[in-house]
Amino acid sequence: MRWSQTLIPTMKESPEGAEIPSHVLMLRAGLIHQVMAGAYNYLPLGLRALKKAERIVREEMDRAGAIEVLMPAITPLSLWERTGRVTAFGNVLIQFKVSRAGKHVPMALGPTHEEVVTDLVSRFVSSYRQLPITLYQIQTKFRNEERPRFGVLRTSEFLMKDAYSFDASVEGLSASYQKMYDAYCRVFSRAGLAYLAVEAESGPIGGDASHEFMVLADNGEDVVVHCASCGYAANLERAETGKRGGRKSGEAAQALTLVDTPQVGSIEQVSKLLHCKPEQMVKTLIYLADGQPLAVLVRGDHDVNENKVRRAVGAKQLELAPVDVIEKVTKAPVGFAGPVGLSVPLWADHDLAAMANMIVGANQADKHYTGCNLGRDFAPAVEHFADVRNAADGDPCPRCSGKVDLRHAIEVGHVFKLGTKYSTALGAKFLDDKEQQHDVIMGCYGIGVNRILAALIETSHDENGIRWPMSLAPYEVILSPLNVAQEDVMQAATKLYDELLAEGIDVLLDDRDQRPGVKFKDADLIGIPLRVVVGGRSLKDGNLEIKWRHEGQASHLPLAGAARKIAEMVTAERKKYV
């Protein structure tokens, strides 16, 4: 492509509003243009990169034996009603009515396609002989974001690869899942991303039924718990916390003392008033587990993880108790709950075992206890000590003797064992070899294609612009004749351009009548991996100048046979990403 004939609106300055590097650079390099909050135009350069990401995904899905289909973006609302997800999605589901023959047909834009694909399979798959099968599509998804942000990372419309596996057995599901997991690893490494596959919250199925593929980035919205020494990685929701040692040694138990804490209910306020650290305090939260009240105790500086509580308690449903229940259970206003004298079951985080002389709510208005000690003043059942909190920075690693870090990350992919939730709801059944009917066992697997680009840029750029890997770069080579008015320069450049095209290289010819500085700056900004310069200076000696985007120094290359040589360099670089 000739630069003068396409649309690459590069910008010297970044538009107001863009803050994170990927957003700024995608705008400045002319990859995207915002249409409204959460919706972007993909301009030629951005579209080419997106298509390359899409192609990698497609190739790896095909290699893994998944079968491509295309499902509609518009779907009948009734399908979502059958699985109860109209309410589950709430405002995220974009709904509308279309007038047809005087009637108003309720529809929704697909935020994902479990319902559609399960309905599809229920109609055409009825025998174990047809299983397993994995269907996938690359489609635009729609999710109304209350607050779109971070450029292309959180939008209301995005390109997603979603795959769904259908199996006759749990073992089959595990095999299908593993195939997708492996395919994802290949996709992200081909895209040049430094990714981490982390254990993720897996819902009712349990086990290692869900993994997220994360790219560590300061601007990521997710938090990953990571151990540098053993490589343990999990998302915050899921991460286990390691046990600490026993009770603090050398600290004598003080007497349980009632202190005044007027009008002061929060951990932060109490710690300020009593001149203590939040980690000396205990947070007492009253929950309803399947309707039954219980108290959960964690250290003042920790956060309760409700999924962990739900699992520990063995409840189907868990929610924070409403105010009236809290007041009834604690016989005090909200903010002064504590474990001493409570009649509901107590569940305590492991870390409480290592605490002495805790500060707790006194279950009386405007009062706390200091010098509260486990065993003497309150005693949860031994089996009620559990991991019920979110991991925190510096926690002991659950797998080794190291410590974990909390790192921000961008989620680029997610694999999930679904089970039979949708096949049951939508009647996707099969007959086994003993003529017994069963619900099909499903898995679902998503990749955010746009996020591949944003995550790459977020983690691969410098002060001059983007640094594309060969696999995603909108063009592999940028060919820059420095002076288009100079005949021999233009002649050599045009000839080389044609030869490179013939070699099957994606080449962008910067034929603009611009000064060299402009061309160099733009080439760096849009991040094309290999830059080839045709300029009067080296051309006099029959040379071109070539420079990798990621290297500082340019080198010379004889004009004669240059196309072949460049093609070889590009081919060698391509091989790093297959």
Partner RNA sequence: CGGGGCGUAGCGCAGUCUGGUUAGCGCGUCUGGUUUGGGACCAGAAGGUCGGGAGUUCGAAUCUCCCCGCCCCGACCA
Give the binding site for RNA (CB under 7 A). 10-17, 19-20, 23, 34, 36-38, 85, 88-90, 92, 111-112, 143, 145-150, 154, 221, 414, 446, 464, 482-483, 485, 513-518, 520-525, 533, 535-539, 545, 547, 554
257 Cβ contact partners less than 8 Å away, ≥ 6 residues apart: 369, 370, 371
* Burial of residue 288 (number of CB atoms within 10 Å: 0-12, 13-18, 19+): middle
CB of 320 to RNA, least distance (A): 10
Rounded to 5°, the CA angle 566-572-578 comes to 135
335 Cβ contact partners less than 8 Å away, ≥ 6 residues apart: 264, 265, 266, 361
Choose between 23 and 179: whose C-beta lies nearer to RNA.
23
Q: State the Rg of the chain over Cα.
A: 30
Report how many helices (DSSP H) and strands (DSSP E) the chain contains, helices first.
Answer: 15, 31
How far apart are alpha carbons 239 and 21 in whole angstroms?
29
CB of 298 to RNA, least distance (A): 17
DSSP per-residue string spanning 101-127:
TTEEEEEEE-S--HHHHHHHHHHH--B
Choose between 506 and 545: whose C-beta lies nearer to RNA.
545
How far apart are alpha carbons 535 and 493 in whole angstroms?
9
CB of 401 to RNA, least distance (A): 32
CB of 569 to RNA, least distance (A): 18
CB of 120 to RNA, least distance (A): 17
CB of 566 to RNA, least distance (A): 16
Choose between 60 and 524: whose C-beta lies nearer to RNA.
524
CB of 414 to RNA, least distance (A): 7
Nearest alpha-carbon partner for 392 in 312, 302, 279: 302
Strand stretches in 168-263, DSSP E: 195-199, 210-216, 222-227, 233-235, 257-260
How far lies 259's CA from each of 252, 318, 362, 372, 380, in Å? 19, 32, 9, 12, 23
Choose between 91 and 127: whose C-beta lies nearer to RNA.
91
CB of 302 to RNA, least distance (A): 15
Choose between 65 and 204: whose C-beta lies nearer to RNA.
204
Query: Reduced to 3 states, what is the DSSP secondary structure of residue 576?
Result: helix
CB of 160 to RNA, least distance (A): 9
3-state secondary structure 244-255: CCCCCCCCCCCC
Choose between 253 and 518: whose C-beta lies nearer to RNA.
518
Choose between 304 and 372: whose C-beta lies nearer to RNA.
304
Choose between 220 and 335: whose C-beta lies nearer to RNA.
220
Q: Residue 406, by phi and psi: left (phi above 0), alpha (psi -120 to 50) or beta?
A: beta
Choose between 29 and 342: whose C-beta lies nearer to RNA.
29
